[in-house]
Amino acid sequence: MGAELQAPLVDGTAVRYVNLDYAASTPALQQVNDYVQSVLPYYASVHRGAGYASQISTSLYENARRTVRNFVGGREDDAVIFTRNTTDSLNLLAGCLPEDGEVLYLDLEHHANLLPWLQLPHRGLVAAGTIEETLAAVEEELASGEISLLAVTGASNVTGEVLPIDRFAAAAHAHGARIVVDAAQLAPHRRLDLLRDGIDYAAFSGHKLYAPFGAGVLVGRGDWLDSGRPHLAGGGAVKTVKVDSVSWATGSARHEGGSPNVLGAAALAKATEAIAGLDEPAWLAHESELRDALVEGLSNLPGIAVHRIFADSTDAIGVVNFSVHGYDAGLVAAYLSAEHGVGLRDGKFCAHPLLKRLGLPSGSLRASFGLGSRQDDVDRLLTGLRSLLRDGLGTDYAVDAGRWVPAVETRPFPDWAPPTPGTAGAAPCTTD
């Protein structure tokens, strides 16, 4: 959806919008949109209705669990809990951990896989300069026998580097711990297999997986989830309720109080079906070719640095992090948008500890792509950067509500989307 969206420029012209912000939210697949339109007339409350539409909606919702479980290679008895997003899923798991252990995590995590653990006994570990050294440091911490859960990202949301999850899982299990994988970035780019890789829990989001409507999911072993604190106290999460007491349900219902996001779950499930049906070698080759072209192009431009975490990483998803010497990252992003119709991300990417360690305390730039990306997208970004380095800014810019914007904004918004200061202001994860 939106593949040919036209983006207005400050000079009054318009060009095809280049979406290089897939790591934040992917565009919806046409296939998913068509599916949602077909089921929308049947939309109704689930689980508690005898009516025809309610029965259909309940079937859609419950079958979505099986589809998502199959997509990630889950075990037959793994729980599939629909949530708002990856952050919600990891907070849910944080409320279910046993009391006799610590959570171990790395400093390279997105805040979603770091902040929930701060309310529990925890141990943060600074990643080393290589994956091998980092894995050795993790094993040393696990050997203390005090860790109950290892929390790691599948792929960095900052640099795109992929971690060997199967090896981290084996290390955790060797020392009596479990592992949870923040798969928000990995799932849209690589086949995930909980059984094959020894993953106990995985969390990811529909909005990064080509599905609209804001649903997330937590898939994993049910014992901790059945004994943990219900994530949202409310109807549907209970067996019986008295005036001053409650008997909680087990299974997925325990954590899905209230009316669920039926369309979100259905859209997420349909997106996983679409991705599972891809020709995997062609899919990975497409992404690899674009990433290699972008990294090579950026490396050949003076004053531009491409950033990475590990010296020995050999695999990365369609995410590239870079900075332009002498320019604030937010200004470069505003320039690319206003003068070239290129959209990418700037800031700290909700990964403050990592950005500080990389020597980028004020932020950097991230270009990310996926299924709908083209070589022309890479070329347009590189052309815009060459123009900036050669000619400088083509118009004046100012900071408004925490974001760089053209000093005189001429680009129109649709009537149903009135403009706001600073294009909705600066995100909290980009400022100190």
Burial class (CB in 10 A: 0-12, 13-18, 19+), 40: exposed
Residue with tokens 């070329």: 379
Residues 6 or more apart whose CB falls under 8 angstroms from that of 242 comprise none
Taken as a whole, the chain contains a residue count of 432
The β-bridge relationship of strands 319-324 and 304-307 is antiparallel
Could you list the active site residues?
350
Residues 6 or more apart whose CB falls under 8 angstroms from that of 377 comprise 18, 19, 20, 290, 342, 369
**What single string gives the DSSP state of each residue in 16-78?**
E-EE-BTTT-PPPPHHHHHHHHHHGGG----SS--SHHHHHHHHHHHHHHHHHHHHTT--TT-
Task: Tokens for 224, please give them.
Answer: 């901790």
Burial class (CB in 10 A: 0-12, 13-18, 19+), 160: buried
**How is residue 420 annotated by DSSP?**
-
User: How many angstroms separate the Cα of 107 from the Cα of each of 104, 199, 351?
Assistant: 10, 20, 8
Backbone angles phi, psi at 274, to 5 degrees: -65, -45
Q: Which of 104, 177, 111 is nearest to 355 (CA)?
A: 111
Whether 188 contacts 26, CB under 8 Å: yes
